[in-house]
């Protein structure tokens, strides 16, 4: 959802190569345009255009810009098509102020109208362009950059993280945020601003997290944060334990396949959270209801949580899409634990719901990104230990979320057997990954397909939903996940000769019934791809093809293992189609608008 970066170097060196390196690491947040602004010789220099980073760099040579401080942006268009004119940084008409922005200014039309009447001339269709014009207007009224930014945020409504530079106050970057992420990095060679930590991992490990409405003033001497009354805020410095290599492809063709291959480690590392989870459970005390709130893949992890907590801990559990949460507010009370699951910890829909839930209930965030908004606003936090995830399609963070939920349920119900099953999961995942070549070959068989169905019962139903989401978001093939028993209540009418149906069939209580569902679709001509226990001869005779999984993977832990082949299928089908799995069209990694 757009990424912003700012950097001011302590020495008089060119900042453009560093800005470019940092902003390139945020390509997962927006990849329709890129732009940089630097300052030197009393001028703001700007290079920007629509297109992927590499294309724009080939055309404009983005690392060749003068000046030791500047700002940069990658765009995921909301207002106005991807175009050079709409790319950031945006400036006022005299080129005295340049701004990068992540978020949406909801009242930009009325501001634009007013400023136009005052003589301002706008060049773009963006909401952002009002910001440099407002800052310029307030600087004309003799406010310094910091206070011009402060006056600007009194006028604008919506979500924003902004960074601004001005020719009238060189060697300074002023930044602020509300409902969009912004971090400040204290590096050895300079000071950094960024939407997300992968941008600056190489340069700064010590991080400050500005709160809503705080103004960050960065110059060569350091960083000062002011609250809304101009008081200096003593910010806590936190150290990130991710390494720069974690945010690199490290020899893999795409981040997605690298991250699929890191899943066993993500599970192992997340299992270390057991003690933290025990402390949370002890502190929460009497718990009569659990309510998960999430979006997308995190919602599917939550659905698995409902099956698990209700069946092994006997606690009523609901799962609510964050964007639909407001209709359930009246059912919350102080005996409800509201659990927010999110990879980024910055999803706008989830944050909105969290603020509401905090008023009545205890809240827990299960989040991958340390220091993100959910971690700062929830009462309790479990940090999934998946490391940075760059591919837009969530993979390793999904299994890490599941691991946290399983640990939570096992600790809550004192279920030692489940805990020991969890320990085996990393090895099971690695066994599936050994079938990479087989799954790659298999994926070529589906080049003709326009629709896929995914069927699973019980614990395998959320896996079916997640398998279908992976396929559709990166390959653009329609995929539909169904509870296997529900198919006959309508969608069976869609099953035709050759339509691919993926059936998830781990050994366990649901096996026989799901097998009947497999036969229903097979007898109507479906091309059945089954996931089941290695050595299941009956499955081999009934399905067109089987991906064998270790028979020791019990139904209850199957979601952690059976998702892996589905991720691989989505990945390889996407490659067959010639699409980029890391950057699917229209999508961004972190959705900071409602």
- C-alpha span between 120 and 129 (Å, rounded): 11
Of 281 and 587, which has the nearer Cβ to ligand M6R?
A: 587
- C-alpha span between 63 and 75 (Å, rounded): 18
Residue 385 interacts with ligand M6R (CB under 6 A): yes or no: no
**Binding residues among 350-379 for ligand M6R as defined by CB under 6 A:** 350
CB-based burial label for 440 (10 Å; 0-12, 13-18, 19+): middle
2 is catalytic: yes
Instruction: Sort strands 545-549 and 527-533 into parallel, antiparallel or unpaired.
Output: parallel
CB of 147 to ligand M6R, least distance (A): 34
Query: 588: closest CA among 3, 9, 14?
Result: 3
CB of 194 to ligand M6R, least distance (A): 17
Query: 517: closest CA among 369, 526, 559?
Result: 526
Using CB under 6 A, which of the segments 22-30, 104-112, 198-206, 392-400 binds ligand M6R? 392-400
* Cβ-Cβ contacts under 8 Å for 79 (sequence gap 6 or more): 86, 104, 108, 125, 126, 127, 128
x/- track of binding to ligand M6R for residues 562-591 (CB under 6 A): -------------------------x--xx
3-class SS of residue 588: coil
Of 87 and 397, which has the nearer Cβ to ligand M6R?
A: 397
Among residues 172, 178, 472, 589, the one annotated as catalytic is 589
Of 44 and 322, which has the nearer Cβ to ligand M6R?
A: 322
CB of 294 to ligand M6R, least distance (A): 6
CB of 524 to ligand M6R, least distance (A): 30
The string of DSSP codes covering 282-338 is: HHH-S--EEEEEE-HHHHHHHHHHHHHIIIII---EEEEEGGGGGGGGGG--TTEEE
Of 343 and 404, which has the nearer Cβ to ligand M6R?
A: 343
- C-alpha span between 72 and 147 (Å, rounded): 22
Residue 463 interacts with ligand M6R (CB under 6 A): yes or no: no
Using CB under 6 A, which of the segments 50-58, 388-396, 492-500, 527-535 binds ligand M6R? 388-396
Task: Give the number of residues written for the chain.
Answer: 594
Q: At what angle do helices 296-308 and 396-412 cross, to 10 degrees?
A: 20
Pick the binder of ligand M6R from 304, 343, 460, 510 (CB under 6 A). Answer: 343
Residue 393 interacts with ligand M6R (CB under 6 A): yes or no: yes
CB of 187 to ligand M6R, least distance (A): 26
CB of 281 to ligand M6R, least distance (A): 23
- Encoded tokens for 354: 């969290």
x/- track of binding to ligand M6R for residues 283-312 (CB under 6 A): ------------xxxx--------------
Q: At what angle do helices 460-475 and 296-308 cross, to 10 degrees?
A: 170
Angle, vertex CA 374, rays to CA 564 and CA 581, nearest 5? 35
How many chain residues bind ligand M6R (CB under 6 A)?
A: 16
* Cβ-Cβ contacts under 8 Å for 151 (sequence gap 6 or more): 134, 138, 143
Using CB under 6 A, which of the segments 222-230, 342-350, 378-386, 490-498 binds ligand M6R? 342-350
Pick the binder of ligand M6R from 126, 304, 347, 415 (CB under 6 A). Answer: 347
589 is catalytic: yes
Among residues 2, 7, 22, 295, the one annotated as catalytic is 2
**Binding residues among 394-413 for ligand M6R as defined by CB under 6 A:** 394
The string of DSSP codes covering 169-232 is: S-SEEEEEEEBS--EEEE-SSEEEEESSGGGTTTT--EEE-PPTT-EEEEETTEEEEE-TTSPB
Angle, vertex CA 435, rays to CA 501 and CA 453, nearest 5? 10
The answer to whether 56 and 99 have CB atoms below 8 angstroms apart is no
Of 341 and 501, which has the nearer Cβ to ligand M6R?
A: 341
Residue 7 interacts with ligand M6R (CB under 6 A): yes or no: no
CB of 409 to ligand M6R, least distance (A): 20
Pick the binder of ligand M6R from 169, 473, 555, 582 (CB under 6 A). Answer: 473
Of 164 and 367, which has the nearer Cβ to ligand M6R?
A: 367
CB of 386 to ligand M6R, least distance (A): 11
CA distances from 357 to 38, 551, 564 (A): 43, 41, 33
Using CB under 6 A, which of the segments 62-70, 323-331, 386-394, 535-543 binds ligand M6R? 386-394
| Residue labelled with tokens 């990479």 | 436
Active-site residue list: 2, 589
User: What is the contact surface with ligand M6R in residues (CB under 6 A)?
Assistant: 295-298, 342-344, 347, 350, 392-394, 473, 587, 590-591
């Amino acid at each position: 959802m757009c990424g912003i970066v700012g950097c001011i170097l302590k020495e008089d060196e060119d900042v453009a190569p560093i800005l470019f390196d940092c902003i390139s690491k945020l390509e997962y947040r927006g990849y329709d345009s890129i732009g940089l602004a630097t300052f030197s010789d009393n001028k703001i220099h700007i290079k920007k255009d629509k297109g992927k980073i590499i294309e724009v760099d080939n055309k404009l040579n983005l690392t060749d810009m003068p000046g030791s401080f500047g700002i940069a942006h990658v765009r995921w268009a909301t207002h106005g098509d991807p175009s050079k004119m709409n790319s950031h940084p945006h400036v006022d008409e005299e080129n005295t102020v340049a701004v990068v922005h992540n978020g949406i200014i909801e009242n930009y039309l009325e501001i634009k109208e007013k400023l136009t009447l005052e003589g301002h001339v706008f060049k773009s269709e963006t909401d952002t362009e009002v910001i440099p014009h407002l800052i310029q207007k307030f600087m004309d009224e003799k406010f310094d950059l910091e206070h011009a930014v402060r006056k600007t945020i009194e006028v604008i409504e919506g979500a924003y993280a902004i960074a601004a530079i001005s020719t009238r106050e060189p060697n300074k970057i002023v930044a602020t945020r509300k409902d969009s992420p912004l971090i400040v990095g204290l590096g050895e060679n300079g000071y950094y601003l960024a939407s997300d930590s992968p941008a600056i991992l190489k340069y700064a490990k010590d991080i400050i997290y500005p709160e809503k409405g705080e103004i960050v003033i960065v110059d060569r001497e350091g960083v000062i944060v002011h609250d809304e009354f101009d008081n200096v805020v003593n910010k806590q410095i936190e150290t990130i334990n991710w390494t720069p290599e974690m945010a690199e492809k490290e020899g893999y063709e795409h981040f997605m396949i690298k991250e699929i291959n890191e899943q066993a480690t993500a599970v192992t590392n997340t299992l270390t959270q057991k003690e933290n989870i025990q402390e949370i459970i002890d502190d929460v005390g009497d718990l009569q209801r659990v309510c998960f709130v999430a979006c997308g893949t995190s919602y599917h992890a939550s659905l698995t949580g409902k099956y698990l907590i209700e069946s092994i801990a006997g606690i009523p559990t609901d799962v609510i899409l964050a964007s639909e949460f407001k209709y359930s507010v009246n059912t919350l009370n102080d005996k409800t634990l509201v659990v927010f699951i999110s990879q980024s910890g910055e999803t706008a829909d989830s944050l909105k719901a969290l603020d509401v839930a905090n008023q009545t209930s205890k809240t827990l965030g299960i989040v991958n990104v340390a220091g993100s908004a959910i971690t700062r606003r929830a009462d309790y936090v479990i940090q999934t230990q998946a490391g940075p995830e760059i591919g837009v399609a969530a993979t390793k963070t999904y299994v890490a979320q599941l691991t946290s939920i399983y640990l939570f349920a096992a600790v809550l119900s004192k279920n030692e057997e489940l805990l020991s099953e969890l320990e085996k999961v990393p090895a099971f995942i690695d066994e599936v990954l050994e079938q990479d070549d087989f799954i790659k070959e298999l994926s070529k068989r589906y080049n003709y397909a326009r629709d896929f169905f995914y069927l699973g019962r019980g614990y395998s139903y959320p896996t079916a939903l997640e398998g279908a989401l992976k396929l559709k978001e990166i390959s653009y093939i329609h995929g539909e996940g169904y509870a296997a028993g529900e198919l006959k209540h309508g969608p069976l009418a869609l099953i035709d000769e050759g339509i691919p149906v993926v059936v998830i069939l781990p050994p366990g209580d649901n096996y026989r019934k799901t097998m009947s569902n497999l036969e229903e679709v097979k007898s109507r001509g479906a091309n059945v791809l089954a996931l089941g226990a290695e050595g299941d001869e009956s499955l081999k005779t009934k399905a067109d093809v089987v991906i064998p999984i270790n028979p020791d993977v019990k139904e209850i832990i199957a979601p952690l293992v059976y998702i892996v082949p589905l991720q691989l299928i989505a990945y390889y089908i996407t490659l067959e189609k010639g699409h980029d799995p890391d950057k699917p069209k229209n999508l961004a990694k972190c959705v900071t608008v409602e």
